[in-house]
Each structure stands twice: as C-alpha cells, then as structure tokens.
C-alpha cells in the first residue's frame, strides 16, 4: 500500500499519524537531496579566449579539481566540453605566454567564454647579458639539449591523433585514433599502438597521407642519429651547432622573468636543416615549446611509393609542446606538411596536418588481442580490423568537434565514405582503401572483386617500385600504400587466414565491455586461380563457420571476467572453429562436391540465415 493511500485513510490512532508524518518528512528530504544532486551534476561547453585580441586560444591545458581531478585541453577553436561535473568544482587554465587563471565551473553557466591575460613581464636583463656575450645563446642551448639528451626514462600514456588533408581547401582525408604511447625526452615518440580509429576519404581523390605516425615516431628529439625529417640543433653537439647555425636570444615581450626564446637559423639553407626557436626556462633548463619550420625540404623518404606519382615536399612545420604541469613530459605534436602532388597531367597542392596529444600519463588502454598474429601494413589497415565501439568513443572522446572538423566530416559523408564512424564498413568502400582485412558481415557476401584486387602483374610492378625506394634512413618506415603480397598460387589451392579480434574497454558506468570481430586476412590468404561460383561459396562458408563460433564465444563472456579469461575463451573456441572448417573442407572438397556443399550450406543457413549457394 502506498503512502498516498495511507493519507486517504481516516486515521484515528495518533501514533499511526505520527509515523506517517515521519515517513512523509523522510521522503521529502530524500526528494530534496536527489533534486539538489541532479542540479549539481551538469554539462558545460566553454571557450578560452585571448583577452586582448578576443581570439580563441587553441590547445589550452585545463585542470579540473574538487570532487574529481582530471585534465584536458581545448580544441583548435579554443572550446572544451565537460559532462557530469559538479558546478562547485574548479578549473585551472594554462597557456604559454598567458597568466594562469582559476575559476569555478559554475562561471560557465552564465558566460561561455573565459578570457586569459597575456603575461607581459620583460626580459631586459637576460637579453642584455645575451647581447654582450655572443657565446651565451650557444652555451644555453647546448646545456638544455645535453640535459634532455640524458633523460631516457620511458613515459607511457594514452594518445589521441587527428589527421586532416585537403587540396584547395577541399577535404580529401580525415583520420582520428586513440593510441597507447611510449616516449622519452631524449628520443621522442618510441611507440604508438592504435587502440581504436576511424577515417574518411574523398571518393574522387583517393589519397592516403604519408604514414605520419611513423614519421613522428622516427623524429629524434635530442638524439644525433639520422631521421626522415630534417635535423635541428637538438640533433647536434655544440661544435655542429656552431658550424651550421646562427643562434640568438630573441626579444620576448610575452616571456616571464624565467623564460627565454632562443632562435636558430641555418648558415646555409640546404633543405636538410630546420630553422625555428625554443622557449625555455633558463633557471631550470626546462623546455616549454619547440617550433620548427623549413621550406623546400630535401628528403627522399617523403616521396610517393607510386613511381608514376611525383610528390615534392614544399614546407614542413613541427611544434612540440611540453606539459605546463610538468615540462619534462611531452603534451602534443602539431605537424603540418605541404606538398606538390603530380600524376600525369594532374597536379595539386596538398596540405596535411597531424595533431598528436599525449595524456593520462602512466596509464594505457587494454591492448586489442588477435587469436592469430597479424602484421598490419599501417594504421589504416588496423582501423579496419578493430572494433569501433560507440560506447568507447563516447567515453574517451574529450574533444568537442571544431568547425573545420564538422565541415570535413560532413563533406566526406556526402562526397566520400567514412570508415568506423557508424560501426559499419561497406565492402564496396574497402576496395578503395586497398587494405588487407575484411570483417564478417551478414548482409555482405564476399565477392571475387573484394578478394582479388590486384592481378599478379600489378603486384610484381608495385613490389618493384617499393624496392627502388631507399627507406634505410632512421627507424623502420613504411607507407600506407605498401603493396600487397601475391594472392595467387601455382597449385591452385585455397589457403585461408581467418582469426578473431577481441578488445576490452570500460564504459561510463564502469562495466567491462568485450567486443569481438571475425576477420579474413585477404593479404595472407591464397584463393587459387579457379574463380568459380562454388569456390566463392566455399570461402564464404568457411568465413561463416568462424563467425558462428565467434558468436558462441561471445555468449560465454561475462562482465565480471578479466581480459585474460575472455581471451582464453576465444582461443578455445577458435580451435573448435578451425577443426570444423577442416571437416567442411574435406566433405565439400573445397567446394567441388555439390552434395557436401548443400549439406553445409543448410547448416550455416539455419544458424545465420544466409544462403551462400544463392550467390550471383
């Protein structure tokens, strides 16, 4: 019986009335607590602007403290977004050259824009000292470089990458991805392993950027080894800097009393030396920002893998910003690359930008697991294989879309294709990407054009063009346009490489979520030369059997399981699927036995609702 029913009863007993009144008060108090908690939990969109110019400040560092402690940065429009926060919490905003500002989050309920004031402290005394001693800039720069060169300890972190490419301001490519990262101050990026990603392409201009994650990982912050990108003083010793560079201390009206801006210019421009400047703290010898620039760089490793395409680098800009909360950790790389693209009578100037943000230091994502090891050509390749879960992206995507991001996404949606944006990858779009794995989908049956994208002559031609390239510079390097292996065999046998991808993440409720996919490695597989309808049906049926077993494994996964237990289940079920496919191969004679094919087709149809013998 409800409380309201009690109130409608003609109560005579005073004690009963008293109890009812007490219950009513308790309910009223609980309701007030719930309401106040609900009001305190809020969502805000805020902007950080320059107080003097009233322009947005991109990539400000924001620290949240109070009921929670968190860190984030603004996007290129100076915008940030916070969900499920307490308005009584506070936020601290930092940006190089500006005075740090602290305010409560409730501020953004009445005003969406927070202005920062420039730090206009002068460096007259330091500049004077530097001008009197011409050796001082060289010695200061060398001391800083030597200190960072000794810092070889590894820092693990999560990372977010955003890459965009355009021609004449028309989007041609967009990539977003979450990574596990390792870096040291001496060597820079040591490793980048993608956790989840998505990308889009312009259908009329199927262009893939150079593998920018490999280029950034190859760049040596303070080592002296060779690298793909040009060198700068951080890659040299004192004698080499003196011989190759002019170094001076700049006037810096935005620097504080401890900051110095050291600029450097090559004495001879040869296309292999960056010019730029370093903002540092001369009292602690800590670096806050490195800005590098070069016009008409000379580097063969940035050429196209297609020998019919002439790719000429025009300009490279690279900014490395260190974390203002700890200047001995890297916060982000901002890499811009402009190139001339020429193919036969077609010519374009392509602008490509890569933003790599490192965050959540000493924390990493759970690594995706594959029941069979797969060597991916590049990140585009792996994005196809990995599960792009909406829950994962909603949980981890902390950057509100900028105006340019929304424009690019909408353009590619209407004029190209988007991979993993809606958990759906049409097979007809995969043929444009020329990647090496196909994900099982009920509504899309494999066709020969999906499996055999190159003739053997095309494969040989591409392999020859790869061999002509000199990729011995720096760390190992490859291109997104790496050629596929030959998928043809002289003995006409079919050899299929099918595996499971298993991944784990934590959703907003704190529950473990396990996702999986069935993958066909079309690069490693061999399909023979007999491209008949029955052979194609056989390949689809083998793919289907592995999918049936994947669904079985998925049904056994419980949220309370750890990832090792989940992986063990998929390993066990994978072995069962492999045995089942061997049995099917024997009974169907690889598609040549009609009776066996009918038998297995009916079994699969009963499980998945697909009819492989009805393929066109």
> Which pLDDT tens digit goes with each residue over 17-37?
444 455 455 445 444 444 444
* DSSP H helices in 359-474: 379-385, 390-396, 403-415, 427-433, 448-451, 456-467
State the Cα–Cα distance between residues 138 and 242, nearest whole angstrom: 7
* 3-class state of residue 515 by DSSP: strand
Helix (H) or strand (E) holding 47: strand 41-50
- Provide the pLDDT for residue 487: 42
How far apart CA 449 and CA 286 sit, in angstroms, is 56
Task: At 533, list the tokens.
Answer: 């309808």
Burial bucket for residue 267 (CB in 10 Å: 0-12, 13-18, 19+): exposed
pTM of the model: 0.79
d(CA 319, CA 323): 13
d(CA 419, CA 550): 23
Three-state DSSP class for 543? helix
Q: Where do we find the tokens 């860190």?
A: 71
CATH no. of 1-71+81-119 = 2.60.40
Give the Cα separation of 197 and 53 in Å (integer): 36
Please identify which residue in the block is written with the tokens 């590894």: 154
Enumerate residues 6+ apart whose C-beta is below 8 A from 184.
151, 152, 153, 154, 155, 190
Residue 4 has a pLDDT of: 38
H helix intervals, 440-532: 448-451, 456-467
What are the residues facing 14 on neighbouring strands? Answer: none
Among residues 388, 401, 398, the alpha carbon closest in space to that of 83 is found at 398
How confident is the model at residue 464, as a pLDDT? Answer: 33
Distance CA 354, CA 219 (A): 14
**Confidence (pLDDT) at 552:** 97
Instruction: Give all strands of the β-sheet with 113-116 in edge-to-edge order.
Output: 79-86, 41-50, 113-116
Per-residue pLDDT at 523: 84
> Which residue positions in the chain have pLDDT lower than 70?
1-42, 120-133, 206, 210, 300, 303-307, 422-434, 453-492, 616
Measure Cα distances from 27 to 6, 19, 228 in Å. 14, 12, 69
Segments of 325-447 assigned E as strands: 326-343, 346-359, 369-370, 416-419, 437-439
- Closest to 349 (Cα-Cα) out of 302, 312, 317: 312
Q: Are 237 and 246 in contact (CB under 8 A)?
A: no
Residue 209 Cα distances to 241, 356, 510, 616, angstroms? 32, 15, 37, 36
Burial 528-545 (b: 16+ CB within 10 A, else e): beeeeebbbbbbbbbbbb
Find the angle CA(517)-CA(521)-CA(522) to the nearest 5 degrees. Answer: 130
Q: What is the DSSP secondary structure assignment for residue 230, as one 8-state letter? A: P
Residues of the chain with CATH 2.60.40: 1-71+81-119
Cα dihedral 56→58→60→66 (10° resolution): 70
Q: Which DSSP helix (H) or strand (E) runs through 4?
A: helix 3-8
User: What does the radius of gyration of the chain's CA atoms come to, in whole angstroms?
Assistant: 30
In the sheet that holds 90-94, the strands lie side by side as 70-73, 61-65, 90-94, 101-104
The predicted structure's pLDDT at residue 20: 43
In the 8-state DSSP scheme, what is residue 300?
Answer: G
Distance CA 161, CA 177 (A): 5
């Amino acid at each position: 019986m409800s409380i309201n029913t009690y109130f409608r009863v003609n109560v005579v007993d005073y004690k009963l009335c008293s109890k009812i009144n007490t219950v009513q008060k308790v309910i009223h108090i609980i309701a007030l607590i719930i309401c106040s908690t609900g009001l305190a939990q809020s969502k805000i969109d805020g902007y950080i602007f320059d107080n003097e110019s009233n322009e947005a400040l991109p990539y400000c560092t924001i620290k949240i403290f109070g009921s929670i402690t968190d860190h984030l940065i603004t996007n290129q429009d100076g915008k940030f977004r916070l969900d499920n926060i307490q308005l009584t919490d506070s936020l601290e905003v930092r940006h190089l050259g500006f005075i740090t500002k602290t305010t409560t989050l409730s501020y953004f309920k009445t005003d969406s824009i927070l202005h920062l004031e420039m730090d206009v402290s002068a460096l007259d005394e330091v500049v004077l000292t530097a001008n009197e001693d011409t050796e001082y800039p060289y010695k200061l720069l060398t001391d800083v470089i030597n200190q960072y060169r000794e810092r070889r300890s590894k820092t693990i972190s999560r990372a977010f990458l955003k890459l965009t490419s355009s021609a004449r301001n028309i989007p041609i490519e967009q990539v977003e991805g979450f990574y596990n990262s390792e870096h040291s101050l001496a060597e820079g990026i040591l490793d980048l392993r993608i956790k989840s990603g998505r990308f889009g392409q312009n259908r009329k201009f199927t262009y893939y950027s150079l593998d920018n994650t490999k280029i950034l990982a190859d760049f040596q912050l303070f080592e002296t080894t060779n690298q793909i990108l040009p060198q700068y003083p951080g890659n040299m010793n004192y004698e080499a800097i003196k011989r190759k560079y002019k170094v001076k201390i700049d006037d810096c009206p935005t620097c504080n009393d401890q900051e110095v801006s050291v600029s450097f210019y090559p004495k001879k421009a040869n296309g292999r030396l960056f010019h730029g400047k370093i903002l540092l703290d001369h009292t602690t010898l800590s670096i806050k920002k490195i800005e590098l620039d070069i016009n008409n760089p000379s580097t063969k490793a940035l050429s196209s893998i297609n020998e019919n395409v002439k790719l000429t680098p025009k300009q490279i800009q690279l900014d490395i910003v260190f974390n203002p909360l700890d200047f001995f950790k890297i916060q982000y790389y901002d890499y811009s690359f402009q190139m001339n693209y020429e193919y036969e009578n077609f010519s374009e100037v392509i602008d490509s930008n890569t933003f790599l943000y490192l965050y959540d230091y000493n924390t990493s994502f759970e690594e995706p697991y594959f029941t069979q090891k797969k060597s991916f050509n590049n990140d585009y390749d792996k994005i196809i294989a990995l599960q792009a879960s909406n829950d994962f992206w909603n949980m981890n995507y902390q950057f509100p879309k900028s105006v340019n991001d929304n424009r690019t996404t909408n353009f590619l949606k209407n004029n190209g294709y988007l991979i993993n944006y809606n958990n759906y990858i049409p097979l007809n779009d995969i043929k444009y990407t020329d990647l090496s794995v196909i994900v099982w989908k009920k509504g899309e049956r494999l066709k020969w054009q999906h499996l055999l994208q190159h003739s053997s002559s095309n494969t040989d031609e591409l392999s020859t063009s790869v061999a002509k390239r000199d990729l011995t510079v720096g760390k190992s390097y490859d291109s997104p346009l790496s050629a596929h292996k030959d998928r043809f065999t002289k003995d006409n046998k079919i050899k299929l490489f099918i595996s499971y991808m298993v991944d784990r993440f934590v959703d907003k409720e704190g529950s473990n979520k396990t996702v999986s996919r069935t993958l066909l490695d079309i690069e490693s597989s061999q399909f023979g030369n007999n491209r008949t309808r029955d052979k194609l049906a056989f390949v689809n049926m083998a793919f289907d059997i592995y999918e049936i077993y994947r669904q079985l494994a998925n049904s056994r996964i419980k949220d309370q399981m750890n990832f090792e237990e989940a992986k063990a289940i998929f390993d066990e079920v994978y072995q069962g699927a492999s045995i089942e496919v061997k049995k099917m191969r024997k009974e169907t004679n690889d598609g040549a036995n009609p009776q066996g094919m009918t038998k297995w087709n009916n079994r699969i149809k009963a499980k998945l609702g697909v009819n492989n013998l009805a393929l066109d």
